[in-house]
Amino acid sequence: MTEQAAKPVSTRFRLATQLPDIHPNLWLGLMLLMLHFSVVFGNDAYWTRPFLLAHYGLFLLWQPLVGGDKKLDPRIAALIFAAAMLLVFWSWWILALWVAVLIGLVGSNATSVESRPQRLVYLLALTYLLALLLAWVMPHVFSTNQLHSAVAVVVRYGLIPLPLAIVLIRPGARQVQQISVVDLFYGLMLFLMVLVLVLGSFAVVAVTQTDYLIALAEMLIAMAMLLVVLSWLWNPRAGFGGLSQLLSRYLLSVGLPFEQWIQHLARQAEYQHDPEAFIRAAVASLDDLPWLAGGSWATAKSSSNFGTQTAHVLNFTYHGLELHWYTQRPISPALQIHASLLSQLLGYFYQAKLREQKLQHNAYTQAIYETGARLTHDVKNLLQSMKTLVAAAQNSDPEQAEALQALMQRQLPQMTQRLQGTLDKLKAPQQADDSLIGAALWWERVLQHYARDNIEFVMHPAALGCSLPQDLFDSVLDNLLGNALRKRQEDKSVSISVRLECAEQITLSVCDSGEAAPDAVAAHLFDAPVGSEHGLGIGLYQAGKQAAQLGYMLRLASNRDGEVCFTLSNQSQ
């Protein structure tokens, strides 16, 4: 069918959307009225077919399957004209089939409607169609003699209020948008149930030669019992999983068992770290599927294909991964859902691999940053020590030459040792130096290093026999005293004290009488780098991480104006 031939039909569908004052309930009510006049009052009269054509035109305006703004497919247009021809050359059997189709369409709409007035509309329509089918159409299928005169009067005049009530019920603006929602599965089930009822009644009448009403009652009882049994089998409560679980398991295992696919993806994800290599290994197993002729995939970096390409293709795109599955013939909707689910899982695993790769790159970059920042801090401390020695040499008198020489002999080996430790960190940046030193020797070096800074040093006598990790205590003490000395540069009255204890725990305390740290800074001193006007703001963060690696804990013991104390202590055993 050409585009020009399909255009008038498409225009007919758009007529419903071009009349804003006419709501779908009016089309439905008028459609049922035209059906009533043509079937009940017309029978074989000359106006029967004109009323049927009017009924069919109203059906096209009401039908919820094809939107009014969409262009018709030629195959759908052919079905529409075929249905119109069947109504023109109608018989009671064709009419029974048509009413069953209408019952299925109306029922498929009724299952998805939440509005009570609109649900009432569909219930009235179903009541009318079922009554027309069972009380008028089917008796004419068997024999007109079986139709009682009282029943004929009720059908002719008693059913008319139902379409009229549908016309008078107007849905709200929000309900109009929900009218066109169609559940094809429920509609098909309802259509098949009506066919079973009609054909079953016909079979009972033909075989037993019984009355139509008795045959109808027998079929209704049989169908009711069958539905009760099926409902129990669908979701039983006696240990059996039920038909619902069997159906779900079938849908999840069409063509490829779901559990095997999950295990295969998890196994490949464990061995393959590169995202593209993972996709290539995962897709390789799909070549053995009987329903799959070939496939291809593409990412931002690479692409590949396998098998043969056919005219029937399923296209999926998940998380930057494009998948194309080729089949020898069109596949069923269940298999399409299954292929979509498998493709979606593959996309999720691919996204996880991309994130894993990104996290590895971020971890590598963070290690470089933290190592560089820590080395920068160590070099800054060494430079400060060198400046102190240079200042002492520049300000010394000839009479202080021996004292200056002794100072150089004490400080230069320590600076050399600390510089060597800084270079060793470049070789193994993730490993902490856990070499121990006697507390007495370390304390003596600290006193010599800070002899000119007017700091109060207090060592508990029990600490003389302890050993402590030299690199950790040097780094922590340099950070804490560096911060305290900067406070003294701004306020000369700030006092600084250092205390070393070794009772149940090895504890190093550094306190000053300066201003307290802001709460926003104090909350993240050891969790992340903080803003600093004097450096990178990473000194205490690195010191805290180094302490944790060696089983120590660095914390802010007191934080108030006039008393700011940090403590470094080993964890209790």
Single-letter residue type at 28:
L
pLDDT of residue 548: 86
Residues 76 and 126 reside in one and the same domain: yes
Other Cβ atoms less than 10 A from the Cβ of 368: the count is 11
In terms of phi and psi (left: phi > 0; alpha: psi -120 to 50; beta: otherwise), the region of 409 is alpha
pLDDT of residue 128: 94
User: Which tokens belong to 437?
Assistant: 């030193």
- Answer for the pair 564, 514: CB distance below 8 angstroms, yes or no: yes
Kindly state whether residue 536 falls inside one of the protein's structural domains. yes
Residues 222 and 83 reside in one and the same domain: yes
pLDDT of residue 499: 92
Residues 18 and 115 reside in one and the same domain: yes
Last residue of a domain, one of 203, 234, 265: 234
Domain count, the chain: 3
E-strand spans in 246-285? none
In terms of phi and psi (left: phi > 0; alpha: psi -120 to 50; beta: otherwise), the region of 124 is alpha
Task: Chunk the chain into consecutive blocks of 10 residues (it has 573) and report each block's average pLDDT, rounded to whole numbers.
Answer: 39 47 79 89 71 83 66 66 69 87 87 77 92 88 69 87 88 55 78 90 86 88 89 68 65 58 81 86 78 86 87 88 87 77 87 87 72 68 72 72 73 73 63 75 84 86 83 86 87 90 87 87 76 61 83 90 90 59
Q: Given CA atoms 332, 338, 339, 340 in this order, what sign does their dihedral have?
A: positive
Residues 147 and 45 reside in one and the same domain: yes
Residues 225 and 323 reside in one and the same domain: no
Beta partners for residue 318, in sequence order:
321
Residue 281 is part of which domain span?
A: 251-364
Kindly state whether residue 378 falls inside one of the protein's structural domains. no
pLDDT of residue 130: 93
pLDDT of residue 65: 65
Residues 556 and 448 reside in one and the same domain: yes
pLDDT of residue 99: 92
Residues 226 and 298 reside in one and the same domain: no
User: CA-CA distance, 444 to 438, in Å (whole number)?
Assistant: 10
Single-letter residue type at 519:
D
CA 77 and chain centroid, separation: 40
Last residue of a domain, one of 316, 341, 364: 364
Last residue of a domain, one of 207, 234, 261: 234
Kindly state whether residue 325 falls inside one of the protein's structural domains. yes
Kindly state whether residue 423 falls inside one of the protein's structural domains. no
Kindly state whether residue 149 falls inside one of the protein's structural domains. yes
CA 362 and chain centroid, separation: 24
Q: Rounded to the nearest 5 degrees, what angle is found at the Cα of 108, between the Cα atoms of 244 and 95?
A: 120
Residues 313 and 446 reside in one and the same domain: no
Instruction: Please name which of 240, 244, 218, 219 lies closest in space to residue 231, comparing C-alpha atoms.
Output: 244
- Please list the helix, strand and coil fractions of the chain in percent, rounded to the nearest 5, in that order: 65, 10, 25
Kindly state whether residue 284 falls inside one of the protein's structural domains. yes
pLDDT of residue 242: 65
Residues 272 and 221 reside in one and the same domain: no
Query: pTM for the full model?
Result: 0.49
pLDDT of residue 249: 63
Provide the CATH number for the domain around residue 504.
Answer: 3.30.565.10
User: Which tokens belong to 31?
Assistant: 């459609």
CA atoms within 13 A on the CB side of 447: 12
Kindly state whether residue 180 falls inside one of the protein's structural domains. yes
Reported as type and span, the H/E element at residue 34 is helix 24-36
Kindly state whether residue 279 falls inside one of the protein's structural domains. yes
Residues 67 and 171 reside in one and the same domain: yes
Residues 114 and 228 reside in one and the same domain: yes
Residues 473 and 537 reside in one and the same domain: yes
Neighbouring residues of 415: CB distance < 8 A, sequence distance ≥ 6 = 382, 385, 386
